[in-house]
Structure 1
Amino acid sequence: ASADYTTLPGITIGIDNRSCLVIRWPNLSHPIITNDVVELVDEKTFRWTGRWDNVINTGGTKVIPEALELKIEKIFQALGISQHFFVGSLPDQKYGHKIVLVIAGNVSRENIKLLHSRMHNMLSKHEIPKEILTGISFIFTENGKINRKATLDITSGTGGQFS
């Protein structure tokens, strides 16, 4: 579960039509509109769920990769899979974009089968990755975060196809 965040005194929050955080501070004439997708707990507390920039529109359904990663992380833990991973998307003729699971390094064929089975049992049909890419070397940004786009750009077209 994601942690709750509370604002400083005098600052209130809301969300826009994308469910992105809107911050109101008395010293500013206009609210600050972010690209952080959040769930409001109250007018001073929120739960971060992901970034609007990363939202995947697959077959008309919007999927927040960071929220999906939390679910998949539980499956990885249950199976004892320790590799780093992220959820991304690749262009798809049928869906517009398809969800892909990108895993650093190699995962045994048996664990891929178990992972695939558990995802089908535990995720909604729109959340299930259509492709699992393994044996991937991740590219990182200067501040140490995974560069999802650059990693996907150099790896697309490899890995196992699942439907």
Structure 2
Amino acid sequence: MVVAITPDWNWETGKGLLGMDDPAEVDAALDRADRYLGAAVIGLALNCPPEVVSPRIIRALELLPGPGRDFPFTATAHLARLDGRLTPELYAALRAEGIGGAADHAIDDTLSFVPFRDLPPWLKRRWVYVTVRETLLRWWLRPVEAVGEAWRAVRGSRSG
């Protein structure tokens, strides 16, 4: 006896779409511009390799307006975190969106989880910039924190 396994996702409510693992189902959702398409693309990113998810993320970016673009970029961030790699098309989408937009978290996750040697040149430059800026900020804040601690210690000894 063969038991048919029914999917755990519901397109009417959006329930279970983060468990999406069927690219054909997402393609159908893209064709009908389903309102839960963003969640389905994220689910696909959580369950499939970048080569499978990438074309669907690109299509979702073309279909989804304004704030809806956050979903495909969140899917891109998940791919970077889980697989440690992205496709050339996703790098191009990140570059097109740029810094200061919906792609910020995806760019940050890409810089954190994709090996430096695998990054395209524009992201390597961004990685160097972010790393130098954060290092200088830490160096600058270390003495400021020490002065603050000394001041609290002096104030504490006066009140006692």
- What TM bracket, shorter-length normalisation? under 0.3
Which is strand-richer, 1 or 2?
Answer: 1
TM-score (norm 1): 0.25
Higher percent of residues as helix? 2
